Amino acid sequence: MSDARSIIAKLRQRQTPSREELSWFAQGLADGTVTDAQAGAFAMAVCLNGLGDVGRVALTMAMRDSGQVLDWDLDGPVLDKHSTGGVGDCVSLVLAPALAACGAYVPMISGRGLGHTGGTLDKLDAIPGVSTELSEQRLRDVLTKAGCAIVGATAKVAPADKRLYAVRDVTATVESMDLITASILSKKLAAGLDGLVLDVKVGSGAFMKDAEAARALADALVKTANAAGCKTTALITDMSQPLAPALGNALEVAEAMRTLTGPAQGPLVEISAALGGVLLANGGLVNDVQAGADAIVAAISDGRAAERFGTMIAAMGGPLHFVENWSRFLPEATVIREINARGPGYICAIDGEALGLAVVDLGGGRKAEGDVINPAVGLSDVARLGSKLSKGQPLCVIHAARPADADRAEAAVRRAITIGRQAPDVPDLIAERVG
């Protein structure tokens, strides 16, 4: 007979619990048998000592099987993407509708903000009326209408993860490779996918700060997902600066809308094409990755992706004409302040994590479970790495609720952005492919 204390003790002693023990613990997370204190101790023990390959797969499968595993009867492949987390990362809002426009179905089960990174569900919450907590039947209805649905995990889907996810955010155990892998894949595999692509971030704004750690995580994710029978590829992508020039929920929705309704160019399009190209090829909708990338760009360029996004938003309770009038629906902060360079030079380095934490401090993220987010606050127009600035040119624009909040954010921004005399080497957005 398993019990939480013996399982935690094993982990503390650097032993891997059995598959049966991990299955019991996951079920205990789901049904409340495991207490919050035990969940936190488990997360910390895994974070410190790890599970190993076998234990990681076992925990992932146990968390997937703690609830309902969906199945589908659709006329196209069921595909999805997941990012390991970064700043200014609103790719899901662009890629999901673009994939739908190309013939895929995308039941994207997403999360809320963790640590310094923003959450896709929090971004969608900035749109009036939108509900991301849908029943299974509502999810199926939205998917049928729009081809894509970006939602939270229902109480029936991977309930063990929902519980552990919240605990990780407030116990400084977010960065565990094993817990990240199990969290991501338990939800994704429960969605009944035919194919998955993983966007593994590396750099100052990511959880993985160096290429070796990112490669190890990508390898763990790909091996675990493929072992579960889901065709999976990972791309390691750069997060040495915010992906979009905005951090904060409504501000990132605005960037996604500019991408969907404006010229199909910039980092959001580039990374959407790279990720989407792999998915469309793996899902059999195109002959190769390049054809898939071209199809994604075309879907964004000709407005089909924006149309799918609008259909999804309306089906999830949002405004009927959001795509046509998105700027009037998004909330705006009461204090908007431009921060200018104090001297000339190049943007040599950007501490993305520090910028993300500045947004959390503004009220755009959670410091404790249950915190209410202000969707309007954040940073916009963030200068790009390698940019040459003259004295007085803008570093970014702060969106705050109060002047004192803006003061703190300004100090944080100035610490986070380094201006020097020489232009830096700017990393490629797509570093490598795994699997």
Which of the residues are catalytic? 80-83, 120, 168, 183, 187-188
Which stretch of DSSP H or E encloses residue 280? helix 267-282
Contacts of 69 (CB under 8 A, 6+ apart): 189, 190, 192
Going from the C-alpha of 390 to that of each of 2, 347, 387, the distances in angstroms are 64, 11, 10
Going from the C-alpha of 155 to that of each of 68, 135, 158, 161, 169, the distances in angstroms are 9, 9, 8, 10, 19
Where do we find the tokens 């797969």? 57
What phi, psi does 228 have (nearest 5°)? -90, 0
CA atoms within a 13 Å half-sphere pointing along the CA-CB vector of 107: 32
Give 151's strand partners: 109
Give 420's strand partners: 346
Residue 202 DSSP SS3? strand
Exposure string for 151-175, b = 16+ CB within 10 A, e = fewer: bbbbeebbbbbbbbbbbbbbbebbb
State the Cα–Cα distance between residues 173 and 46, nearest whole angstrom. Answer: 9
The alpha-helical segments, DSSP class H, found in 13-135 are 19-31, 36-49, 52-64, 91-101, 120-124
158, 359, 329, 255 alpha-carbon torsion, rounded to 10°: -90
State the Cα–Cα distance between residues 153 and 161, nearest whole angstrom. Answer: 9
Please answer whether residues 85 and 183 qualify as being in contact, where contact means their C-beta atoms are separated by less than 8 angstroms: no
The alpha-helical segments, DSSP class H, found in 80-192 are 91-101, 120-124, 136-146, 159-170, 177-190
Please answer whether residues 67 and 156 qualify as being in contact, where contact means their C-beta atoms are separated by less than 8 angstroms: yes
Query: How many other C-beta atoms are found inside a 10 Å radius of the C-beta of residue 224?
Result: 24
The alpha-helical segments, DSSP class H, found in 342-387 are 352-359
